[in-house]
Amino acid sequence: MNTPVPPARRKQEIIRQERIGQTVRVLDSSCKDVRDLRGVVVDETKFTFLIQTERGPKRVPKKGARFSFPFGVLDGNDIQNAPSERLKRR
C-alpha cells in the first residue's frame, strides 16, 4: 500500500527539483510583460530565470510570480535561492 506524501514534504521535494532544461509557463507575475510566457529554462539565478521562448531569451524575475513546471506549480517567492544553495539544503 502506498503512503501519501504529506503536503509540506511534497512542497519541499518540488522546490528542490532541477529547473534548468524544464519547460515552464509563467502563470502570473507582477511584471505584466511576462504573464503567460512559455519556454524552456536555460539559466537560473537567485532572483531570476532566463527562459528561451519562440521570440528569444527573456529574463523573468521570480519575486511576485507563479510558474508551472511539469513537476508542479511553484511560487517565485518560495524559490528565491541560487541553484547551488538547493544542493546544500538536501
Alpha helices in the chain (DSSP H): 7-16, 83-89
Burial 42-68 (b: 16+ CB within 10 A, else e): eebeeebbbbeeeeeebebbbeebbbe
Amino acid at 28: D
Q: Which pLDDT tens digits describe the chain residue by residue (90 residues)?
A: 455 555 677 777 777 888 999 999 999 999 999 999 999 999 999 999 999 999 999 999 999 999 999 988 999 998 888 777 766 655
**Structural domain includes residue 13:** yes
Q: What is the pTM of this model?
A: 0.83
pLDDT at 52: 98
The domain containing residue 62 runs over which residues? Answer: 7-89
**Structural domain includes residue 11:** yes
What CATH number did the domain enclosing 77 receive? 2.30.30.210
Judged by DSSP in three states, 36 sits in coil
pLDDT at 17: 82
